[in-house]
Amino acid sequence: MCYQGVTYYNVPPSQQCAWLQGGQATCGACPPSGVPPFTFNVTGVLNTARYLHTATLLPNGKVLVAGGYNGSALASAELYDPVSGTWTATGNLGTARYDHIATLLPSGKVLVAGGYNSGALTSAELYDPVSGTWTATGNLGVARYIHTATLLPTGEVLVAGGFTGGFGGYLASAELYNPANGTWTGTGGLNAARYEHTATLLPDGKLLVAGGYNSNSYLASAELYDPGSGTWTVTGSLATARYNHTATLLPNGKVLAAGGNYSSGALQSAELYDPANGTWTAAGSLVTARYNHTTTLLPNGKALVAGGYNSSGYLANAELYDPASGTWTATGSLFTARYQHTATLLPNGEVLGAGGYNNSSGFLASAELYINFLQLTSIVSRMTHGSAGTFDVNLPLTGTRGVEPRSNASLGAGNYTLVFTFVNNLTSVASASVSTGTGGVSSSSIGTNQNEYIVNLTGVTDQQYITITLHTVQDSADSNGDVVGPQMGVLIGDVNGNGVVSNGDVSLIQPQVGQTVTSSNFRDDVNANGTLSNGDVSLTQARVGKTLPTSPSPSGSATSPIAAPTTPASVDSRVSKPSTSKSKPRTAVWNSAQNR
C-alpha cells in the first residue's frame, strides 16, 4: 500500500489506487512523497450499473439500492454492506422502474411507489429486509414519476406532485399511504402543479415544498403541508426560481436550497428558508454551479454537495456549506464525475455515493465513500537527553518506517513518548492504545500546543515494530475518527536505522565520543544520557547482530483511515431529475471508487 493505515474496501492489491493531486487516481503506483489522498475512498462496485435509482439506509446499517435505468428500466435491487464494502443481490422488484421514490417505514420495511416504465406507474411495493423479498401493496390513485415522498410524524407517507405523462401532465395532486392497511387516500392538492421540486419535513411536522417546474415555467413558489388539516398554504417564495436543486434541513431548523437549473442554466446560488417567518434569504454562492447533484447533511452539521452537471459537463468536484459561517468551501473531489447518483449517510458518518451517469463511462456501477479527513502532519518519538535537551526521531507517515535506536536513561528502558501533530487544534481524544506490538500506554493527553497529542508508552520491548492508535479524535474543524500511526521500529543501537545493529553503527558512534549532543548526532547517544561516551559504544557493541523482524506486524485497522499527511476520520435522499420526454431518460446531466 502507498500509505500506512489507508483502508481499501474489498479491492484486490493490483487495483489499490494511490490518490494524486487533482482528484485523479492511478493504480499500481505510489504518488510522490507528501501527496495526500483526497476525501473519497474506494469501495465495492454495484452488480448492475444504474442511475435514476433509489438508495435507502436500512435499520441494520446496510443500504438498499433499487431499480433505475441503464438502457431499460431495472427491476434488480442490491445491498451494500459497510463492514465488508461489498454489494450483494437481493430480491427483484415486482415491476421494473426508475424515477420512483423509496421511503423507510417505521416497521423497517421500504416502500417503493410510482416511477416510470413505458409510462407512469401507479404500482407500489414493499421490501422486507428480513426475507429480502418484495410484495405488492396498494396502488397510487394517480400514476406519477419524479414526485416526492415524505414520511410524516403520523407514520403515513405523503406523495406530492410529479408528472403523469403527456401534454400538461404536471401534477398538483397529493396522496397519503397508510402502512397499517397498505392503502392510499387523496389529501389536499398543491396550490401549484410541479415536478423536479423538493420536499423537506420541518421540525414542527409540516412539510415544505419548494421550486420545481410546470408547463414550461420554472417555479419560485413554495408551500407548506399541514398534516393536521391536510391542506397546503403558500409561504414565502424563493428569490430564484429553480428545479433539479436540493433542499436540506439544517440543525438550526432552517432549510438550505442549493443549486438547481433555470432557463439560464445551472445555478450557483443558494438560499435559506426560515420557518419562523416563512422567508428565504441568500446563503452565499456555491463554488461551482450545478444541478442534479446530491446534498448530504454530515454529522458535524455541514452540508456536503457532490457531483451534478453544468455547462462544462458532468462534475466530480464537491463542496461543503458551513451554517455557522454561511460559506461554501471546496472539499475532495469524487473519483468519477457523476450525476443522477445517490448519496447515503452511513452510521459511521461516511457518505456512500453510488451509480449515476457521465458521458465518458455512461451508466455507472462504481461507488465511493466520502470520509472527513483529520489532517495529521507528523509523528515523532521524543526523548530528553539529560542537560543536552530534547530530540525527536521522525516516524515517516509514508515510505521507510522510522526506527527508534535509543534507550531512555531518565525514565528507564522501555519508556517512550510519541507526539502526534495535526494541522488543526484538537478538541478531544477518547484514548490511545497499542494496536500492534508489545508495550502499553501509561498516559496520553492533548499537549500544550493544542494541535499535538502526547502518548507515553511503557514496557516497550526491543527488536519489534509497534503501532499506536488514537481513538475518536475530534479537531476544531469537526473532523473525527480513529487515527492509526505508522509502525515504529524499536531497535536499540541501530543508529543508522537500517534494521540491523552492526559494526557500522559502532563506527558511526566512535568518532562522536566526547562531542556535544546536537540535532545531527543525537541518535549516537544511544543511552540518551546527554553525553556521547564509550558507554554508547559499549551498549551498541554488545548488541551487534540484533535485528528488527523481517515481516513486521500489519498496522492496526482505523475506523477512519489515515494517510500522509492527511488522515481520514469521518442526505438528503437524491431527487431524481429526468426530462419530461420519456422515450428514454435524459442523459444530461462523485472521486472515490472505480469499477473493477
Please say whether the beta carbons of 360 and 595 come within 8 A.
Answer: no
SS3 126: strand
For the record, the C-alpha cell of 465 comes out as 515494530
Q: Own/partner pairs for 520-525, CB < 8 Å, 24+ apart? A: 522/385, 522/388, 522/391, 523/393, 523/405, 523/406, 523/495, 523/497, 524/495, 525/385, 525/388, 525/406
Residue 375 backbone phi and psi in degrees, to 5: -100, 95
Given this model, what pLDDT does residue 475 score? Answer: 86
Measured from the Cβ of residue 121, the count of other Cβ atoms closer than 10 Å reads 25
Q: Which residue has the higher pLDDT, 300 or 239?
A: 239
What is the mean pLDDT of the segment spanning 339-355? 92
Which of 70-79, 174-183, 263-272, 416-425 has the weakest average pLDDT? 416-425
Given this model, what pLDDT does residue 42 score? Answer: 62
CA distances from 592 to 52, 195, 302, 428 (A): 20, 31, 20, 28
- Say if domain 46-333 classifies as CATH 3.30.360.10: no
Given this model, what pLDDT does residue 266 score? Answer: 97
Q: How far apart are CA 386 and CA 407, in angstroms?
A: 13
Given this model, what pLDDT does residue 519 score? Answer: 95
Q: Is the pLDDT of residue 412 over 90?
A: no
Q: How far apart are CA 211 and CA 260, in angstroms?
A: 9
pLDDT digits (tens, 9 = 90+) for 473-497: 988 776 777 888 888 999 999 999 9
Burial of 14 (0-12, 13-18, 19+ CB in 10 A): exposed
Architecture label for domain 376-568: Sandwich (2.60)
The domain limits of the chain are 46-333, 376-568
Q: How far apart are CA 328 and CA 462, in angstroms?
A: 50
Q: How far apart are CA 365 and CA 68, in angstroms?
A: 12
Q: What's the per-residue H, E or C state across 516-558?
A: CCCCCCHHHCCCCCCCCCHHHHHHHHCCCCCECCCCCCCCCCC
Which of 361-365, 571-575, 591-595 holds the top average pLDDT? 361-365
Cα dihedral across residues 461, 465, 470, 476: positive or negative: positive
What is the mean pLDDT of the segment spanning 116-145? 98
Please say whether the beta carbons of 573 and 247 come within 8 A.
Answer: no
Please say whether the beta carbons of 321 and 328 come within 8 A.
Answer: yes
CA distances from 527 to 374, 409, 442, 532 (A): 35, 6, 21, 9
CA distances from 123 to 56, 93, 163 (A): 19, 11, 15
Q: Name the band, by pLDDT with cuts 50, 70 and 90, for residue 20.
A: very low
Measured from the Cβ of residue 243, the count of other Cβ atoms closer than 10 Å reads 25
Q: What's the per-residue H, E or C state across 195-243?
A: ECCEEEECCCCCEEEECCEECCEECCCEEEEECCCCEEEEECCCCCCCE
What is the mean pLDDT of the segment spanning 309-335? 94
Measured from the Cβ of residue 457, the count of other Cβ atoms closer than 10 Å reads 26
Q: Is the pLDDT of residue 302 over 70?
A: yes
Q: Name the band, by pLDDT with cuts 50, 70 and 90, for residue 40.
A: low
Measured from the Cβ of residue 517, the count of other Cβ atoms closer than 10 Å reads 22
What is the mean pLDDT of the segment spanning 383-387? 95
